[in-house]
Amino acid sequence: MRHEAAQARSRFAAAISPRDDFKSLLPARIMSAVYQKILDRIEREDFPVLQKRISLSPREKLTSTLGVFFRGF
């Protein structure tokens, strides 16, 4: 599973270039930030994906969204 997590991280990084238009890619950047936080949690909990559903609270999602938004300006 660690290999798959590393592969996902490299694909997240390659998907959106920092020089790409911020405004048009804002939804994709937000989704990437949320998915990366979920991946962080999956790794931290030692990959329990077959035993339980891993998710973020609404507050964590909002924090990720605002983080992306304010980093862009």
Q: Kindly report the number of other CB atoms within 10 A of residue 16's CB atom.
A: 14
Question: How does residue 1 score in pLDDT terms, banded at 50, 70 and 90?
Answer: confident
- Residues of the domain holding 60: 2-71
CA 66 to chain centre: 13
**Taking residues 13-33, what's their average pLDDT?**
82
Q: How many domains is the chain built from? A: 1
Mean of all residue pLDDT scores within the chain: 88
Q: Give yes or no for a contact between 68 and 33, defined as CB atoms under 8 angstroms apart.
A: yes
Residue 66: name the closest of 14, 23, 16, 30 by CA: 30
Query: Can you give the pTM of this predicted structure?
Result: 0.80
2, two tokens: 């660690």
pLDDT over 90 at 23, yes or no = no
